[in-house]
Amino acid sequence: MQHRSHTDVRSAATEITMAKLATVMWIVIGIVFAGGFGLVVLATPALSNEAAELLPWAALAGFIVAIPASIFVARRILAESGNRQDL
């Protein structure tokens, strides 16, 4: 039977906390980016004529771009909080 050291357990807990926080941040940031990309489609005269076709793609692009942004924000939040486990 292999025993994990205290550092290994803490590192795993930090990774789980980061994943949960990044997921929540992705939901929030994804909505913001999707809305922003949608506004670009609607505000651009050349694109607004095809808005019905482009808006779903703009929303999808916003959620995809939000993935690395949410990971960045989650890492910054955990760094500022000192990796506390009571988040």
Question: Whole-model pTM?
Answer: 0.76
**Overall number of domains in the chain:** 1
Q: How many residues are present in the chain?
A: 87
Q: Mind listing the pLDDT tens digit for each residue in 39-62?
A: 999 999 999 899 999 999 999 999
Task: Identify whether 87 is part of a domain.
Answer: no
Task: Identify whether 86 is part of a domain.
Answer: no
Instruction: Name the token pair of 72.
Output: 């960045």
Confidence of residue 81 (pLDDT cuts 50, 70, 90): confident
Left (φ > 0), alpha (ψ -120 to 50) or beta: where does 9 sit? alpha
Burial class (CB within 10 angstroms; exposed 0-12, middle 13-18, buried 19+) of 80: exposed
Tell me, what's the pLDDT at 17? Answer: 87
Four-CA torsion 36, 37, 38, 39, nearest 10 degrees: 50
Q: Which domain, by its residues, includes 51?
A: 6-81
Task: Identify whether 56 is part of a domain.
Answer: yes
Q: Read off the pLDDT of each residue in 9-31 and give the average, rounded to a whole number.
A: 87
**pLDDT higher than 60, residue 11:** yes
